[in-house]
Amino acid sequence: MSQTPSVVWNKCLSFIKDNIQPQAYKTWFEPIIPVKLTGNVLSIQVPSKFFYEWLEEHYVKILRLALTKELGSKAKLVYIIKMENTFGNKMPFTEKIPSSSSSTIKSQSIDSPFSSFASELKNPFVIPGIRNLQIESQLNPNYTFENFLEGDSNRLGRSAGIAVSNKPGGTSFNPLLIYGGVGLGKTHLAHAIGVDVKQKYPDRTVLYISAEKFTQQYVDSVKKNTRNDFIHFYQIIDVLIVDDVQFLSGKSGTQDVFFHIFNHLHQNGKQVVLTSDKAPIDMQDIEQRLLSRFKWGLSAELQSPNYETRFSILKNKLYRDGVEIQDEVIEFVAKNINSNIRELEGAIISLIAQSSFNKAEITVELAKEVINKFVKNNRREVSIDYIQKVVSDYFQMDIQTLQSKTRKRHIVQARQIAMYFAKKFTKASLASIGTQIGRRDHATVLHACKTVDNLSFTDKQFRKYVEDLNQKLSN
């Protein structure tokens, strides 16, 4: 009975599956398609050159054993690389490469068809026309752990960052995803990790890149037909730091290439650090396979700093800048700017500038003037508890009723409005909002927000409820 490519390959897969980790099997063997069987030569289709290289480097022995078991000692394997063409041609790019496993004993003597390609690797950060093999880290040396002050709001993230910088790729915090609202120190902490790694491990290749710039580089590589150069460049990084990863939302091509780069780095023990303004569960238009990988390591939230941390941050900044201000002035600023660190530091800079320009002493009275103007331009954040109280009072019910499981229409609508304003006025995640308003899940909160938006357009009375409450919460 003659064998088919699928039958032979499935038997090989059964053997391989029993001898490697499930995740490795799923990543590197499930995408392979058996194409042709001619005598003792099996041809298989793989998605990319990198995929081929990875199999040859890491799984050539087990492939050889599996093939020999099914096709005998003279078994041979041929790879067919069939990559999707992104430049308008109807025919896909195809290339056939004999496996080094085909030569059994003499496999190590076969030259890699990519050796010349590797030597021409292009660095997307190098200016055209300037020869420079050095990869600049793009790190800001002023962002360090020393000036990233620890508090209850950031302790987990800072501790995880230090652990990662002590042993990049060697902890369970891989990837490390740092998330939180605007101005809470995500970028600072990401840079601090990179700076510390460079100091401790000068030979490691560290790269900081914003997701926006990564996307632009990828688009340029597609236009210039250098996509493989782009991928290979990022695969040689030891510590890759991607800022504002939520920017990848809706960009399927960039997500796909980042997925493959992420897999390569993670499986080679390289460190990946990500920052985002949302928790993975709240990211929209990000492929599920990417989101699942974001959750492999640790997701650490940076929250708004409490008063003690805000006071310490201001003291530290003033000390570093060589400026002396009375503690009572610092206390006043710390108490009245409570949204984020960026605004806190902005307020103190405005205060120093006013003092310098007007040649006036920095006093609490001057601080009041500056802060009053500053706060007018920055909406104060209100708590979820406060929102629930305002909404409950407005609809003349207690908070327990608002949070109850009842399906009475007016109570459901009040609860949905509370969720809507919690999303609008706070930086809490959808999951956190749902937990605090009646122990609902994030999907319920998302549905509530959409319902409020829709009813505000179609129901005049409902729109009045929303406008009244928006006025109360904005004051």
Contact, 277 vs 182, CB < 8 A?
yes
Going by pLDDT thresholds of 50, 70 and 90, the confidence category of residue 391 is very high
473 Cβ partners below 8 Å, 6+ apart? Answer: 382, 387, 390, 421, 425
Of the listed ranges 196-200, 297-301, 350-354, 376-380, the one predicted with least confidence: 376-380
Question: Which strands sit side by side in the sheet containing 41-46, from one edge to the other?
Answer: 33-38, 41-46, 76-83, 93-98
Range picked from 242-251, 308-317, 410-419 for highest mean pLDDT:
410-419
- Three-state DSSP at 305 gives coil
In tens, the pLDDT along 77-90 reads 888 875 443 333 33
- Three-state DSSP at 450 gives helix
* Domain 384-474 CATH superfamily: DnaA protein, C-terminal DNA-binding domain (1.10.1750.10)
Residue 312: count of CB within 10 angstroms of its CB? 16
What is the Cα 219 distance to its own chain's centre? 19
How crowded is the C-beta side of 45, counted as CA atoms within 13 Å? 14
* Domain 155-302 CATH superfamily: P-loop containing nucleotide triphosphate hydrolases (3.40.50.300)
pLDDT mean across residues, the chain:
78
Going by pLDDT thresholds of 50, 70 and 90, the confidence category of residue 356 is low
- Whether residue 277 is predicted with pLDDT greater than 90 in this model: the reply is no
Contact, 386 vs 363, CB < 8 A?
no
Domain regions of the chain by residue span: 5-106, 155-302, 307-376, 384-474
In tens, the pLDDT along 38-50 reads 888 888 888 776 6
Give the CATH fold of the 5-106 domain.
GMP Synthetase; Chain A, domain 3 (3.30.300)
pLDDT value for 473: 84
- Whether residue 472 is predicted with pLDDT greater than 80 in this model: the reply is yes
CATH of domain 307-376: 1.10.8.60
CA distance 65 to 104: 9
Residue 381: count of CB within 10 angstroms of its CB? 15
